[in-house]
Amino acid sequence: MDKNDRFDRRLQLGEIFTAKDLARIERALSGALKCEIAIVVPDGAKKTGNQRVAVPWELEPVAYLVSREATSDQLKGASTLLVLLLKEAVRYRMTAELHLETVRADYHALQEKHAALERSETRYRELSRKLEDQVAAQVLEIKEAQRKMFLSEKLASVGQLAAGVAHELNTPLAYIRNNLVAARGYLDDLESLFAAVVHGKDLTSMRASWEQSDIDYIRSDFPLLLDACLDGVTRLASIVSDLKIFSNINKMQQSMDDVNGRLATVLSMLKPQIGDRIEIEQVFADLPAILCYPAHLGQALYNLLQNAVQAIEGKGKVGIRTFTMDGHVGVAIADTGAGIREEDISRIYDPFFTTKVVGQGIGLGLSVVHDVVKAHHGRIEVESQPGKGTSFTILLPIEPTKDAEDGE
Amino acid sequence: MTPSEHDDSRLVVKLVYYGPALSGKTTNLLYLHDRLQPEMTGELMTMETKNDRTLFFDLLPVGFTTASGLLVKLKLFTVPGQVQHDATRKAVLSRADGVVFVADSQRDQSINNGESFQNLAENAARVGLDFRTLPLVVQYNKRDLHNVLSREEILSRWGKTPWPLVFAIALTGHGVLTTFKHLLMQVYARLDAHHHLAHHHGLDCARFIGAIMGEASFLETER
């Protein structure tokens, strides 16, 4: 702070009174004393022959009263009057300047506080930025580790898949082969009968040949063998179909389809597995048709329902409910089956993850469901209590966005 | 242009009466105004509100001129004691050459005294005064009231501090001159060290005190 700004400095006359006020005071004093009186500052030139009386302020003359005619007593009286005027003016002036000084000091303190706050804010920003960088770096690290883990898991999964698929394919293949070998044997057995027919043997020798080759048994067993083979081929086809869906979910055409209708079809397909042991409880709401991949959607619903049915040992109930909610079509499938263990919940959608014994499934069922729902830009939720049952809910948008139509 | 406060012909000394609200700072000043007999006394300016509360400051200028022609001017200030006027206290304390700390002897004022003294130390540091070398006198005022701290209690608290301690009844003037004299003695030592008053102006401590206080300097010696 400039020294001249200090409130407790000694004030000069010009600071206390304006020139205009000084002139008025001069005129007032002159008028009162009926003679010319001048107020001059200390370093003003002395005029000889004049009466001169000091006007003291803070122990020093702040001005002189000068007059040619006035007596010394008159000037002293005028000086006292001027000091009283000064006192009031200085009192105001000093308090005003003190006030200003404290306001400046307060403002300065505020500015310093503000600057300190700004510095600390900058530090926190910097800290926050560094933390963000660190988090980003760590996220990158984790992602990389995850990717490596995923790769190694994927390799392991591929092995698991190969084992699962091999087993799945092997079982029907084994009995198709066995059946075909048996069928081939039956053909050998039929050969003697055919020969007898071709060579026009008599009825007796033909009958003997019939008896010898046990044609009666062959007649009853041959269709069974072929049916079993067809069954095996159907199973092989279904495994191949699952693998195909898994590999090219997004390469199909979309069309409008009715989810309730799709569910009814799937239910009729599953009828043989459901039988009498499982009670089906259906609550279907009126649903709008949605743009979807109908075959895939059917597959997903099939997988969910099949899982529900398979989860139930002995008697049980499967509830199927459809509804609309917030622009979505919803399907909830709840069973009273074995439930999913807590530690398994996070992995149920992982490809090739299965809790079924080898040969019962290759771990693609829920994976396919998950991918199908994702391809429809929908959501899937699961709630499960081990020993009580599991409930899956899928939500599919009624009007997929343009983005959704494009697929991923 | 304002001439410098200190120059070859003029020595300006600022003395400040500090302390908690209503401890008697202005009363000290009024008594000094009545009893000091300096060569020159300026206009006493007090700025009290209705409730005897000092709003900004009080000011009493006293002074004398040495034989060598040096004008020695003492400006006695009081600060407002109320806590909320801290910025004003700080401004008044700025550039002080000596301080009287006026404490209130009443038992229930002990905390206020302590806080005010702490405030004095902090503000001294803020305005750049070295509290260890600053001339300072501690005055315990209002000794005439009931329920005041005993001399022993006060001495046990302040006896070991480097500052002179004076018991006072400022309303009657008891101890006021003694307090002031103790301050002048310390202030003189500092001034003499800086301005060689004895050597250059023939002004020793006794003459310095005598020039400000006149006969009042002999009135009290009790501590």
* Predicted local confidence at residue B2, as pLDDT: 33
Q: Distance of CA A371 to CAs A162, A248, A300, Å?
A: 20, 10, 9
Chain B interface, mutation test: which of A8, A43, A100, most B Cβ atoms within 10 Å?
A: A8
Task: Tell which residue, B60, B8, B83, has the closest CA to residue B176.
Answer: B60
pLDDT at B167: 96
Residues A27, A28, A32: CA angle, nearest 5 degrees: 115
Q: Report the first-to-last Cα separation within chain A, whole angstroms.
A: 70
Phi, psi of A388 (to 5 degrees): -110, -35
Q: Contact at 8 Å (CB) between B100 and B28?
A: yes
pLDDT for residue A407: 40
Amino acid in the structure at residue A400: P
Q: B5-217 is classed in which CATH architecture?
A: 3-Layer(aba) Sandwich (3.40)
For A58, the closest of B55, B61, B95 (CB atoms) is B61
Say whether residue A80 is in contact with chain B using an 8 A CB cutoff.
no
Q: Model pTM?
A: 0.58
Question: In B, residues 75-114, which contact A (CB 8 Å cutoff)?
Answer: 75, 77, 87-88, 90-92, 94-95
Q: Looking at the complex, does the CB of residue B127 fall below 8 Å from at least one CB of chain A? A: no
Instruction: Give the 3-state secondary structure of chain A.
Output: CCHHHCCCCCCCHHHHCCHHHHHHHHHHHHHHHCCCCEEECCCCCCCCCCEEEEEEECCEEEEEEEECCCCHHHHHHHHHHHHHHHHHHHHHHHHHHHHHHHHHHHHHHHHHHHHHHHHHHHHHHHHHHHHHHHHHHHHHHHHHHHHHHHHHHHHHHHHHHHHHHHHHHHHHHHHHHHHHHHHHHHHHHHHHHHHHHHCCCCHHHHHHHHHHCCHHHHHHHHHHHHHHHHHHHHHHHHHHHHHHHHHCCCCCCCEEECHHHHHHHHHHHHHHHHCCCEEEEEECCCCCCEEECHHHHHHHHHHHHHHHHHHCCCCEEEEEEEEEECCEEEEEEEECCCCCCHHHHCCCCCCCCCCCCCCCCCCCHHHHHHHHHHHCCCEEEEEEECCCEEEEEEEEECCCCHHHHHCC
Antiparallel, parallel or unpaired: β A38-40 and A60-67: antiparallel
The domains of chain A are located at 3-113, 252-408
Task: Inspect the interface and report whether the beta carbons of B87 and A60 lie closer than 8 Å.
Answer: no
Residues of chain A under the 50 pLDDT cut? 1, 250, 402-408
pLDDT at B3: 38
Could you say which residues from 3 to 32 on chain B have a Cβ atom under 8 Å away from some Cβ of chain A? 4-5, 10, 12, 14
Secondary element (H or E) of residue B72: strand B71-78
Nearest to A75 by CA among A102, A52, A98, A92: A52
What does the pLDDT read at residue A332? Answer: 93
Cross-chain residue pair B2–A94, CB shorter than 8 Å: no
B91 closest CB neighbour out of A60, A91, A98:
A98
> Looking at chain A, how many residues does it have?
408
Domain extent listing, chain B: 5-217
Closest Cβ–Cβ partner in B4, B91, B95 for A105: B91
What type of residue is A170? N
ipTM: 0.85
What pLDDT shows up at residue A87? 93
Q: Show the low-confidence residues of chain B (pLDDT under 50).
A: 1-4, 222-223
Write down the pLDDT at residue A313. 85
Specify the CATH number of the domain A252-408: 3.30.565.10
State residue A150's pLDDT score: 62
